Structure 1
Amino acid sequence: MQTLEDTPPGADADVAALDGLTLVLVGIAWECAHAAPPEVTFPQTRLLLILDRLGRVPSSQLAAAMGVNASSVTRLADRLETLGYLARGRSPGNRSVVTLEVTETGRELVARILDRRHAALGALLDKLPLSQREAAATAARQLVHAAATIPALGPAPL
């Protein structure tokens, strides 16, 4: 495993540190997604997590939040609807607009995934002395706010 001390000469050590953190966080997200039943894929899990935060929205708005095209959302939603994790509806103001929302069963699944993720993140933070834990949390909040100012990144829905 590559360590932060293995940063190639001339590389930005701060960027390398964030890159290493990305691997850790993606690993936690991937592992926690396994709280979902085997028939729910990682992309479907991501859709449920984002949709749960957004609430009932048009499928086009969900597609934009996920950074995918509308047909991808339709395919993912088809299976999730069949499994009972989300429901389709119509916009009251425009019946041609399809809305999506997480069902109670879907909310229970999202809660299991988030509980597992929060436990994993808490265990990681518990490895740090209190002052470093607080500094890490402050830095994380600042990075999330900074990311919201970059159009390509936008506000993090997950």
Structure 2
Amino acid sequence: MSQTEEVDLLALDRQVCFALAVASRSVIALYRPLLEPMGLTHPQYLVMLALWGESPLSVKQLSNLLQLDPGTLSPLLKRLEAAGYLTRGRDPRDERSLAVELTATGKALRAEALKIPPAIIDRLGLTIGELESLHRNLTRVIAAATS
């Protein structure tokens, strides 16, 4: 492009927000057929990932980890509890706090979930290095957008 050509700053195909929105919808759609046999939606899968990392967690801790407000998180937790994957109860260390803990069924589901990352990596056709770089850049974007 020569210096005399003007760049249309409002061109849809140049918008970072558009690329992120389409990428997000597209990647999350790849998870759907992998999660459906497990009885999970993508937001529920994120909750389970957090709890497979550490359980029990308080609702506040879980909310912070997932960057979701408690009002959005609460229905996810209710559905996961109804499915038998977790329990919610008063934290014995702090009765004011609600603790979320995996059940044996929820813990066992992790073995099935181990198939998901390789399937997504294969479907995206990116190397681990490319995905790690993308993750680092997206994390920088999130930090910049939320600071």
Using the size of structure 2 for normalisation, the TM-score is: 0.66
Label 1:89 to 1:137 Cα distance change in 2 as closer, same or farther (>3 A): same
Give the structure 1 partner of residue 108 of structure 2. 108
**1:143 paired to 2:145:** no
1:59·1:99 contact (CA, 8 Å) conserved in 2?
A: yes
Label 1:71 to 1:16 Cα distance change in 2 as closer, same or farther (>3 A): closer
Give the structure 1 partner of residue 56 of structure 2. 56
1:98 CA drift (Å): 1.2
List runs of 5+ in structure 2 lacking aligned partners.
Answer: 1-9
RMSD between superposed Cα atoms in Å: 3.4
SS of residue in 1 equivalent to 2:44: helix
1:112 CA drift (Å): 2.0
**1:32 paired to 2:34:** yes
Amino acid at match of 2:34: C
List runs of 5+ in structure 1 lacking aligned partners.
Answer: 1-7, 154-158
- For the residues of structure 2 that align with 1:56 and 1:151, how far apart are their CA atoms? 30
1:52·1:101 contact (CA, 8 Å) conserved in 2?
A: no
> Number of matched residues?
138
1:102 CA drift (Å): 1.9
- For the residues of structure 2 that align with 1:134 and 1:64, how far apart are their CA atoms? 27
- For the residues of structure 2 that align with 1:102 and 1:75, how far apart are their CA atoms? 16
1:13 CA drift (Å): 7.4
**1:99 paired to 2:99:** yes
Using the size of structure 1 for normalisation, the TM-score is: 0.62
* Higher RCO (CA 8 Å, separation ≥ 6 residues): 1
Label 1:112 to 1:72 Cα distance change in 2 as closer, same or farther (>3 A): same
Quick check: which has more Rg, 1 or 2? 2
Label 1:146 to 1:87 Cα distance change in 2 as closer, same or farther (>3 A): same
Percent of residue pairs bearing the same amino acid type: 22
59-68 or 142-151, which deviates more: 142-151
2:43·2:76 contact (CA, 8 Å) conserved in 1?
A: yes
- For the residues of structure 1 that align with 2:27 and 2:112, how far apart are their CA atoms? 18
